[in-house]
């Protein structure tokens, strides 16, 4: 929600936050895959009525619980931006942090009668220093190696770096990894690829857990609820010998491949040209 001092009041869609542990969110989406057009319209109207009734001025979030029959029940108003606000920013193209500051400075929300139109789908995975296989036990320590994913539609909000220490005294959130796509399927595919590239060494994290959740048939169907992890406890434990190939391992393997000798009467390429990809692959029938 964004409500200014000049009567401007808008909602920017809904988020789905049912994948949780200990009633704390792990994965968030915008829009929610469990909502239909009727429910989406109803929740938006209820949220607008709620903030207008109390004369609210700020950015904020109205939270509801949804029952199996599609009924909605009011929970609370968070008078602030929430951790998962980036998924709304990605779908609506709005800098919510800037808008919150502008409203506090007395400015108007910069739209006419209608809020921006949503586009596509966004997913956020909270990257935590926790061990899912041990009941999400905190895993403090020092980050020895870090590789942050990138690429189209990928956003990484974090302040970690190699050599930084994760203490025991604060929230274990390390970063927020966000993926946007033109559809939910595209966003999931981009997030899955980014999670495969993400490396944090030196302490336990939930990166592997996120990979397993995003590949689970129930998640792919959008069959989400707050008891999801209780219903699928197998997601907490990594399978034996989970496939994992590092760039360093690939580079080491390539370095030990011998270049095929040049055919009789032919000279090898000049060193400045470097070996061709076909030579490295040892393709039969290659002719320079």
Stated pTM of the model: 0.81
Q: What would the two tokens of residue 262 be? A: 């040049």
Give the residues across from 20 on adjacent strands. Answer: 25
pLDDT tops 60 at residue 80: yes
Q: SS3 of 149, please?
A: coil
- pLDDT value at position 279? 40
Query: Does 95 share its domain with 180?
Result: no
Query: Does 170 share its domain with 227?
Result: yes
Confidence band, pLDDT 50/70/90 cuts, at residue 202: very high
* pLDDT tens digits, one per residue of 237-262: 988 865 555 555 556 555 555 545 55
Query: Does 6 share its domain with 108?
Result: yes
Give the contacts of 70 (CB within 8 A, at least 6 positions apart). 39
| Active-site annotation holds for 52 | no
* pLDDT tens digits, one per residue of 25-65: 999 999 999 999 999 999 999 999 999 999 999 999 999 99
Residues in the chain: 288
Of 76, 94, 119, the domain-final residue: 119
From 80, 98, 108, 266, the catalytic residue? 80
**Into how many domains does the chain fold?**
3
Please give the Cα distance from 223 to 67 (Å, whole number): 13
Average pLDDT over residues 105-112: 92
- pLDDT value at position 286? 38
Please give the Cα distance from 83 to 127 (Å, whole number): 12
- pLDDT value at position 4? 95
Give the contacts of 203 (CB within 8 A, at least 6 positions apart). 129, 139, 140, 141, 142, 143, 166
Which residue range is the domain that position 241 belongs to? 122-256
Please give the Cα distance from 132 to 208 (Å, whole number): 9
Query: Does 43 share its domain with 98?
Result: yes
Of 90, 119, 148, the domain-final residue: 119
Query: Does 13 share its domain with 54?
Result: yes
The region of weakest confidence among 109-113, 211-215, 220-224 is: 109-113
Query: Does 265 share its domain with 162?
Result: no
């Amino acid at each position: 929600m964004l409500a200014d001092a000049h009567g401007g009041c808008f909602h920017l869609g809904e988020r789905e936050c049912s994948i949780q542990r200990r009633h704390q969110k792990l994965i968030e989406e915008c829009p929610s895959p469990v909502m239909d057009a009727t429910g989406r319209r109803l929740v938006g109207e209820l949220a607008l009525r709620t903030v207008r009734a109390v004369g609210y001025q700020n950015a904020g979030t109205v939270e509801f619980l949804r029952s199996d029959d599609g009924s909605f029940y009011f929970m609370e108003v968070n008078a602030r931006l929430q951790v998962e606000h980036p998924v709304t920013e990605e779908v609506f193209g709005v800098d919510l942090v800037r808008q919150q500051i502008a409203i506090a400075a007395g400015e108007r929300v910069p739209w006419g009668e209608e809020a921006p139109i949503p586009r596509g789908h966004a997913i956020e995975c909270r990257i935590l220093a926790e061990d899912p296989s041990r009941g999400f036990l905190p895993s403090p320590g020092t980050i020895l190696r870090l590789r942050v994913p990138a690429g189209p539609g990928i956003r990484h909000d974090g302040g970690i770096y190699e050599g930084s220490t994760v203490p025991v005294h604060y929230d274990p959130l390390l970063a927020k990894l966000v993926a946007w796509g033109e559809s939910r399927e595209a966003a999931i595919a981009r997030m899955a690829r980014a999670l495969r590239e993400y490396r944090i060494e030196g302490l336990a994290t939930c990166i592997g857990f996120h990979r397993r959740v995003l590949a689970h048939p129930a998640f792919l169907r959008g069959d989400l609820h707050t008891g999801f992890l209780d219903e699928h406890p197998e997601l907490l434990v990594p399978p034996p010998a989970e496939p994992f190939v590092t760039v360093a391992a690939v580079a080491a393997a390539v370095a030990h491949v011998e270049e095929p000798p040049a055919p009789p009467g032919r000279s090898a390429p000049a060193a400045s040209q470097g070996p061709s990809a076909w030579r490295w692959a040892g393709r039969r029938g290659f002719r320079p």
